[in-house]
Amino acid sequence: MSIFSRSLLLSAIITLAAPAQQPIPEKQVEKRVDSLLKQMTLREKIGQLNQLFVFPQPVPGMPSLNDEDIAKGDYGSFLFVSDAAQINRLQHIAVDKSRLHIPLLFGLDVIHGFKTVFPAPIAMAASFDPATVERAQAVAAREASAAGVRWTFAPMVDIARDPRWGRIMEGAGEDPFLGSAIARAQVKGFQGSYIGEPGHVLTSVKHFAGYGAADGGRDYDSSYISDEQLWNVYLPPFHAAVEAGAGTVMSAYMDLNGVPATGNRFLLTDVLRDTWNFQGFVVSDAFAVRDLVTHGFAKDPADAASLSISAGVNMDMGSRTYIDNLETLVKEGRFKETQIERMVRPILAMKIRLGLFETPYVDESATKSIFAASEHKAEARRAAQRSAVLLRNEGALLPLIQGRYSSIAVIGPMADSFIDIRGSWALVDDPTQAISVARGIREKVGNGVRVETAMGCEIRRNVPSMFDMILGVKRGTPLTDQQNTTEIEKAVTLASRSDVSVMVLGETQDMSGEAASRTSLDLPGRQEELLEKVMAIGKPLVLVLLNGRPLSIHWAAEHVPAILEAWYPGAEGGHAVADLLFGDANPGGKLPVTFPRTVGQVPIYYAHTLTHQPEGSPGFVSRYWDEPSSPLYPFGYGLSYTTFKISNLKVENHKVSVDVQNTGARAGDEVVQLYIHQKSGRASRPVRLLKGFERVTLAPGESKTVHFTLTDDELSYWSATDRKWVHDRSDFDVWVGSDSNATLHGNLSPVQ
């Protein structure tokens, strides 16, 4: 391009640009896209569909970064570049040296924080507080965008009802109503009020769709989901995210009913675009386009490119299948260039909406102050406080009273771990700045109380994690069985000479997340033995769980007086746990997923159908001869340091109201939950469905009336018989309470 042509192009871009503080009008976006497409070669168009992984060090088998390819326009996006200086360097090549000066779009898995790590997503869902979720992702967006990362591969909105699946950690649990509320909050937090709002980032809702229903809870395995379950359970959170304005969607790895999701036209075109009118673009999961060959779906990479782009995947993440094959396919007549343009158009539109043409670079000097913002840490601490779930508190052991204990033992393999408290997908933070539980307790009680730690036993994966393999991480030799026995003995000795023990058990951060499925839900390693031996001492004991999935803690639920489910609470987790243990914060979180008694009950979830012999009916006995059918802890369950009374249920003309009162001596939060059951109709509907919730804060003695409205959206469902959404004229049971076993009951009749 000549200097004169370049100046004309830049002048047109600047002329058509809108102020950064408001969205660019769609007509201007379309006009700018049209102008660019007219000037682009076929190769440049295909380049916009190509995303490259960039790792800190070369990874065998993966394409390497080549600056000349950027200048040629072979890449539209990069993944895993998070340093502002590196982003500016690569952006300068694209903007200054490429023919049309089209900026790059930098993406990263900003799952639960960037520099400031927030609680894991399942923990955030446990807050039952969309406003907290929105604020957390707004902080993550502010930090990421400051570094030049303008696209996050989040939120993950997969419904998961099998806790063996490691990625249950990344979602909102088992319920589509809660999942939809959390999905909307995340999209709004990340993207702001419009795509391109300063300090915000583009979202990529994943994994579309049904990924959380993988066979056996095995990551990447096939999902077989009926149409009824797909529309009523697995698709609603995606639909909510799209309605909230999500700019992009990520296709999933697995086969859905025999067809790989990345080559699934039903999902990516019929549902996403034709039914939901999605106007953004679809990116594949990593190497998923190439792996259509691995699935046995495509015969070769060229066929994979053809099948994927025909299904509706705009951008190929990482595999170079598009850039290596599409040009030939067009020249051979298997594709028209106009088909390629249709896939490029929304990508260019997003870059324009994000303001990348006007401000492709970031101010490297400003990132440090943004990353160090004290309000970000304060928000992370608050989120961790609101995400914790109090599972048990016999004898009101918690909160611990300061001054009562002169010595505290903090015991467990993660008691003083600043690595594990962050959870999986903490990619760019400084892990040494994370606050362990032991450190949080030390800072809480001060020098007047002796706080000592003991590992108790070592736990570790028996195979390397995905990130270990990619990054070449080598871990030291594990402790021998005898060394673990010695560590248990040390912990017992410490607990014996201490006034109270806080045991921090669960899973290390690499035991939940991607490629981290489990065959057991028991406490890994010898933690159960450690717990039982310390409990046998007879001293007060509190169990704090750090984990990303429900665990089988049946013994602890019967014998340990106080259990706090802290999940992976993030970088400020140690401070938040200490706040909760000593009563400076009152637990108010609720379980977003059912806790089974044993892995043999899995899958277990509250929203099952009545079946032939319903639970609670006169002839009901446990479906298992060796265990009760009921869960250890139900969906929506969580205790507080105070007590609440929910009463005066009124149901009239689809309006539901109830009074909630704090009947205890402390201020606290209750999550008032509304459940319904359709009594008859064209299908047997689940025994209960969450259709409303509100988290309320009440002072001692204070009351509040909570109101819900049951609209057609809450009362309708997708009918496998009619192949559409229907609303039967049926009576409905209505329950309101503090979990899915709520007993306060009313009846809703059809409006005449």
| 644-688 residue pLDDT tens | 999 999 999 899 999 999 999 999 999 999 999 999 999 999 999
Q: Which residues are bridge partners to 77 per DSSP? A: 51, 105
Q: pLDDT band at 625, cuts 50/70/90? A: confident
What are phi and psi for residue 543, nearest 5 degrees? -105, 125
The pLDDT of residue 11 is above 80:
no
Domains of the chain, first to last: 377-592 (3.40.50.1700), 644-748 (2.60.40.10)
Structure tokens given for 404: 């009562």
Give the Cα separation of 244 and 188 in Å (integer). Answer: 7
The residue annotated as part of the active site, out of 109, 162, 255, 285, is 285
Helix (H, G, I), strand (E, B) or coil at 651: strand
What pLDDT, on a 0 to 100 scale, did the predictor assign at position 13? 33
Following DSSP, what letter does each residue of 676-700 receive, concatenated? EEE-SSSS--BS-EEEEEEEEEE-T
Q: Which residues are bridge partners to 668 per DSSP? A: 698
- Please give, one letter per residue, the 3-state secondary structure of 211-223: HHHCHHHCCCCCE
Burial class for 56, CB neighbours closer than 10 Å (0-12, 13-18, 19+)? exposed
Give tens-digit pLDDT for 225-259.
Answer: 999 999 999 999 999 999 999 999 999 999 999 99
The pLDDT of residue 453 is above 70:
yes
CB burial string 447-471: b at 16+ within 10 A, e below: eebebebbbbbbbbbeeebebeebe
Q: pTM above the 0.75 mark?
A: yes
What proportion of the chain, given as a percentage, has pLDDT over 70?
96
The pLDDT of residue 10 is above 70:
no
What proportion of the chain, given as a percentage, has pLDDT over 90?
90
Give tens-digit pLDDT for 285-313.
Answer: 999 999 999 999 999 999 999 999 999 99
Give tens-digit pLDDT for 335-370.
Answer: 999 999 999 999 999 999 999 999 999 999 999 999
The pLDDT of residue 472 is above 90:
no
What pLDDT, on a 0 to 100 scale, did the predictor assign at position 214? 96
Give the Cα separation of 687 and 676 in Å (integer). Answer: 8
Give the Cα separation of 238 and 272 in Å (integer). Answer: 9
Report DSSP state, residue 502. Answer: E
Are residues 423 and 120 in contact, defined by beta-carbon separation less than 8 angstroms? yes
Are residues 233 and 227 in contact, defined by beta-carbon separation less than 8 angstroms? no
What are phi and psi for residue 481, nearest 5 degrees? -60, -40
Helix (H) or strand (E) holding 389: strand 389-393
The pLDDT of residue 7 is above 60:
no
Give the Cα separation of 173 and 187 in Å (integer). Answer: 17
Better pLDDT: 621 or 180: 180
Which residues of 150-280 form beta strands (DSSP E)? 151-152, 202-208, 248-251, 255-256, 259-260
Q: Is 303 a catalytic residue?
A: no
Q: pLDDT band at 14, cuts 50/70/90? A: very low
Instruction: Pick the closest to residue 199 from 43, 354, 323 (CA basis).
Output: 354
Cα Rg of the chain, angstroms: 27
Alpha-carbon distances of 63 from 105, 293, 317, 533, rounded to whole Å: 18, 18, 12, 52
Q: What pairing do the DSSP bridges indicate for beta strands 259-260 and 407-411? A: unpaired
Structure tokens given for 192: 């702001």
Can you give the length of the chain in residues? Answer: 752
Are residues 282 and 291 in contact, defined by beta-carbon separation less than 8 angstroms? no
Better pLDDT: 63 or 606: 606
Give the Cα separation of 419 and 416 in Å (integer). Answer: 9
Report DSSP state, residue 674. Answer: E
What pLDDT, on a 0 to 100 scale, did the predictor assign at position 751? 64
Structure tokens given for 368: 């440090």
What pLDDT, on a 0 to 100 scale, did the predictor assign at position 471? 66
What is the chain's mean pLDDT, rounded?
Answer: 94
450-454: strand order across its sheet: 389-393, 562-565, 541-546, 500-506, 407-411, 450-454
Q: What pairing do the DSSP bridges indicate for beta strands 644-652 and 689-698? A: unpaired
CB burial string 675-693: b at 16+ within 10 A, e below: bbbbeebebebbbbbbbbb
